Structure 1
């Protein structure tokens, strides 16, 4: 791991660990802003999700805020420690979307200064989302699974062709040697 990655991952994740822990411990201050988002999206998710998932979605907004906070703590720790970093970054990115919509709905603000502050916070979260997406696809310079699968198939095809050509050459060489052995045997038969 490079020094940049070793610094960037914890820096990117610290806000999620701290704010997530706060949300788990004390969700009530976040409930009023989260309520419109949860009221809108939870029924939609329950319709789409399989029954074993939809039955486990919390009913109260406070519990949903706690769940989101727990997800952020776990995702933040995964990203910061590097253990499950790509999955952690993906989970954080997914949790950041409803958090941003609920917490920084600048389009609903009437006061110009409050709207500007919320817009700045919204755009900062978009920047963090971009960083999380980069972290989610970061393979640390190693080829990803898709690249390896594509190039592995090509390499296997190439090696198969090389093997077939080598087998043909070997067969021709064996045929020549067999012919020469037959000639020598015939010559020895005539001499003997």
Structure 2
């Protein structure tokens, strides 16, 4: 593993490790945002959730999964899988947390900027997930 690849993965992962930790530890503060998002989803989606699952539980699971997958990405442990998990999690997280299309005028610019930042992070994650293979499998193919 090259030092540059390790450094770039670690820098990318840092956003998810810190963001996931903060979300998991402060889940109650994020409940209103997640509740608003869940209310807008069709029942066929929300109906798949057990009745006893609360928004705070979803936030904690999402946060700790980001910490775990981000740590795996930073350490180079199954980086393709870790980046795929993070990219998949980023979709609902971004839609729930940064809905610039419905934000008040005074918050629209900052919300759009956060949305675009998450899109850029997703691009970096997809670059890791879909990038060239390293290791035994890559050598066998060539």
2:118 & 2:58 partners in 1: Cα distance?
20
Q: TM-score, normalised by structure 2?
A: 0.85
Provide Cα deviations, 1:17-41, integer angstroms capped at 9, x if missing partner.
1111122222011111111333426
**Residue 189 (structure 1) aligns with:** none
Distance 1:94 1:42 in 2: 21
Describe the shift of the 1:58–1:2 C-alpha distance in structure 2 as closer, same or farther (beyond 3 A): farther
2:80 to 61, 81, 86: 86
Unaligned runs of 5+ in 1: 48-53, 152-192
Structure 2: gaps (5+ residues): none
TM-score by length of 1: 0.64
Partner of 2:101: 107
Whichever of the two has the greater Rg, that structure is: 1
- Equivalence map 1:64-143=2 (5 Å): 64-111=58-105, 113-140=106-133
Two-structure CA RMSD over aligned residues (Å) = 2.6
Distance 1:42 1:94, change over 3 A: farther
Aligned residues: 140
Alpha-carbon deviation of 1:143?
Answer: 8.9
Deviations 1:54-87 (A, max 9, x none): 66x9610000000100110111011000012111
